[in-house]
């Protein structure tokens, strides 16, 4: 095989963007040969591209070696499973699934098919700022992580956004709000840079700023096995919002905001200075370094190029799809903690979360005699 024939499932905003890159020849050795889109009004007119209404027909067509799934959230897991069973390589948009219980069979199926590449579109992993932060933490030059604060409130969405589609911001249609829609990348980066926590205690507001069922304001407190802790705050109702990541470590502080990565290094680790200093009010000395102008990295094009190279050359994936379970589990556990008003331990009890989600879906539907989800 010298080229990978790609089938795109879902031709909404994300799908059309991916199609433009591939059909435009921007991804070497990757060619778009088929599209599956259930809405005829969205069917593209692209030279050499066969259009299907049903994903199953695309998978049986013999026209594709791999598929990129860019459908609404509830279809991600079942379509990924179907594509794997059809023998296709799979690139899956975020989130992996709506909840952990439906993701586990997909991961199991992928493990039984090691020759098939299974990747996720976590394009923020290509950002050089986040790569630098990860390298600094894992390299150990800053010492152990003490505390993480990440405030992400620049996801502002007006009411018109939520009214643009009937499935938006519903438990049945998306399975969540800011955690499942806007923040999967942030949650992925958090665990990719600092590892998974052992428990979470969270508070969520459901429809605080909008007439919606799901969460549009989140405050979560995460605890790690080594004693570190984190706060994760997200909202779609604040303007102007902010996106500030601050990490306190024994050897200093890392702050990323407004495309500036500020590194403050202690001349002596805080723990050592605390034990040895004779001064009552003195803190360790520091040095400062600012990194700017690093750009955004390859983003979607780099993920697509890497996916293609993994199929043809066997190179390691930037974002193996199985790792998408971590960000999904973080989102699910945060919601479960808010619903139960209790601390939730990791690994998440998948069946318990699924039970609670079904309750939310049924409660929303019961409030509308037409069976359409509405705010609760």
pLDDT digits 0-9 by tens, 111-154: 999 999 999 999 999 999 999 999 999 999 999 999 999 999 99
The residue segments making up the domain with residue 277 are: 125-296+327-366
pLDDT score, position 270: 97
- Distance CA(55)–CA(61), nearest Å, equals 10
pLDDT score, position 96: 96
- Per-residue model confidence as pLDDT tens digits over 275-315: 999 999 999 999 999 999 999 999 999 999 999 999 999 99
Say yes or no: 314 and 254 in one domain.
no
Say yes or no: 31 and 139 in one domain.
no
Say yes or no: 116 and 138 in one domain.
no
Say yes or no: 360 and 239 in one domain.
yes
The number of folded domains in the chain is 2
Say yes or no: 35 and 135 in one domain.
no
Say yes or no: 137 and 278 in one domain.
yes
pLDDT score, position 375: 33
Residues of the chain with pLDDT under 50: 369-376
Say yes or no: 58 and 169 in one domain.
no
Tokens of 331: 């989102």
374 in a domain, yes or no? no
pLDDT score, position 165: 87
pLDDT score, position 368: 52
pLDDT score, position 369: 39
pLDDT score, position 1: 78
375 in a domain, yes or no? no
pLDDT score, position 117: 98
Residue keyed to tokens 């010492």 = 143
29 in a domain, yes or no? yes
């Amino acid at each position: 095989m010298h080229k990978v024939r790609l089938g795109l499932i879902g031709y909404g905003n994300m799908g059309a963007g991916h199609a433009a890159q591939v059909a435009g020849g921007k991804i070497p050795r990757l060619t778009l040969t088929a599209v599956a889109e259930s809405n005829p009004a969205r069917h593209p007119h692209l030279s050499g591209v066969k259009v299907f209404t049903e994903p199953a027909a695309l998978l049986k067509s013999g026209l594709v070696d791999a598929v990129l799934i860019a459908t609404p959230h509830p279809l991600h897991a079942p379509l990924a499973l179907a594509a794997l069973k059809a023998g296709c390589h799979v690139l899956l948009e975020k989130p992996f699934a709506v909840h952990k219980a439906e993701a586990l069979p997909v991961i199991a199926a992928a493990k039984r098919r090691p020759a098939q590449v299974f990747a996720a579109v976590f394009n923020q992993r290509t950002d050089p700022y986040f790569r630098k932060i990860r390298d600094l933490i894992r390299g150990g030059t800053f010492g152990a992580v003490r505390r993480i604060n990440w405030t992400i409130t620049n996801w502002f969405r007006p009411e018109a956004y939520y009214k643009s589609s009937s499935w938006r911001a519903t438990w049945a249609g998306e399975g969540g709000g800011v955690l499942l829609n806007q923040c999967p990348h942030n949650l992925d980066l958090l665990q990719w840079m600092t590892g998974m926590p052992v428990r979470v205690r969270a508070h969520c507001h459901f429809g605080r700023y909008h007439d919606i069922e799901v969460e549009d304001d989140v405050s979560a407190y995460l605890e790690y096995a080594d004693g570190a802790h984190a706060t994760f705050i997200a909202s779609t109702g604040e303007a102007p919002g902010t996106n500030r990541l601050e990490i306190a470590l024994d050897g200093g502080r890392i702050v990323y905001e407004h495309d500036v990565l500020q590194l403050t290094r202690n001349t002596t680790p805080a723990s050592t200075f605390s034990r040895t200093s004779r001064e009552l009010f003195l803190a360790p000395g520091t040095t400062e370094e600012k990194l700017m102008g690093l750009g955004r990295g390859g983003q979607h094009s780099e993920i697509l190029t890497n996916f293609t190279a993994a199929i043809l050359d066997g190179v390691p994936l930037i974002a193996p799809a199985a790792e998408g379970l971590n960000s999904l589990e973080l989102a699910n556990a945060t919601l479960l903690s808010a619903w139960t008003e209790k601390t939730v331990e990791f690994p998440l009890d998948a069946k318990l979360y699924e039970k609670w989600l079904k309750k939310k879906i049924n409660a929303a539907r019961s409030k509308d005699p037409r069976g359409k989800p509405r705010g609760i």
